[in-house]
C-alpha cells in the first residue's frame, strides 16, 4: 500500500469472496488497496469468463481507464477470497493528485510498472507456447498456484483447465 500521509482518505472494509468491486460496463469510482486477500480481473467473452489479472496484498486495483476517463469498465474486479481492502474515492484521489506530490509520484510509478508488466504479458502471449507461459508464471508468481483456483489460472494463461492439468502433469 502507499505511504502517503493522508490515510484519513481511506476507508478500510472487509469483503467476502465473490464480491464484485467493479462490474463490467460500470464506471469505476474507487481505487482499492489490498491489505489482505486476492482480487481477480475478468471480462465476459460470449458467456465465457476470461481472467486477465490478479491482485494480491500490497497492490492497488481499479479499472484504470474507467477510473481516470469516466468510461464504462471493460472488465469486472471481484474478490477470490475474503479480503480486507482500503478504498479511495475518485474525489479524494483527485485531491491527493493535486496536493500530495508523494502520492502523485507513487501513482505514476505504480501505473508505469503495471504498463511494463502488461507489455511483457502481451509479448509472452504472442511469442510463447502455453508451457512457456506456465513456466514463466510459476517462476514469477508461485504463490498464485496455491491461492487461485485452477480454472482461473488456466484462463489467465489462455488455455483450458484440461490443458493446464496436462502441462502440470508433464512437470
User: Residue 1: its pLDDT value, please?
Assistant: 45
The DSSP secondary structure of 104-127, one letter per residue, reads: HHHHHHHHHHHHHHHHHHHHHHHH
Helices H, strands E: what count in the chain? 7, 8
Q: Does CATH number 2.60.120.10 belong to domain 7-90?
A: yes
Task: Please state the domain extents for the chain.
Answer: 7-90
CA 33/CA 55 separation, integer angstroms: 9
CA 155/CA 51 separation, integer angstroms: 5
Q: Would you give per-residue pLDDT tens digits along the chain (171 residues)?
A: 444 445 788 999 999 999 999 999 999 999 999 999 999 999 999 999 999 999 999 999 999 999 999 999 999 999 999 999 999 999 999 999 999 999 999 999 999 999 999 899 999 999 999 999 999 999 999 999 999 999 999 999 999 999 999 999 886
The distance of Cα 80 from the centroid of its chain, to the nearest Å, equals: 11
Residue-wise burial string across 121-156, b where 16 or more C-beta atoms lie within 10 A, e elsewhere: beebeeeeebeebbeebeeeeeebeeebeeebbbbb
Amino acid at each position: 500500500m502507499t505511504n502517503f500521509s493522508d490515510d484519513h482518505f481511506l476507508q478500510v472494509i472487509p469483503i467476502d469472496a465473490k464480491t464484485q468491486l467493479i462490474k463490467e460496463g460500470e464506471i469505476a469510482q474507487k481505487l482499492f488497496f489490498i491489505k489482505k486477500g486476492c482480487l481477480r480481473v475478468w471480462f465476459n467473452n460470449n458467456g465465457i469468463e476470461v481472467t486477465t489479472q490478479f491482485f494480491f496484498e500490497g497492490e492497488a486495483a481499479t479499472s484504470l481507464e474507467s477510473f481516470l476517463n469516466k468510461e464504462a469498465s471493460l472488465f469486472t474486479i471481484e474478490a477470490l477470497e475474503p479480503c480486507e481492502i482500503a478504498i479511495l474515492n475518485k474525489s479524494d484521489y483527485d485531491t491527493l493528485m493535486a496536493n500530495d506530490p508523494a502520492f502523485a509520484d507513487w501513482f505514476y510509478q505504480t501505473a508505469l510498472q503495471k504498463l511494463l508488466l502488461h507489455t511483457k504479458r502481451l509479448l509472452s502471449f504472442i511469442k510463447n507456447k502455453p508451457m512457456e507461459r506456465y513456466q514463466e508464471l510459476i517462476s514469477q508468481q508461485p504463490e498464485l498456484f496455491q491461492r487461485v483456483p485452477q480454472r482461473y489460472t488456466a484462463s489467465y494463461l489462455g488455455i483450458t483447465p484440461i490443458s493446464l492439468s496436462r502441462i502440470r502433469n508433464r512437470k
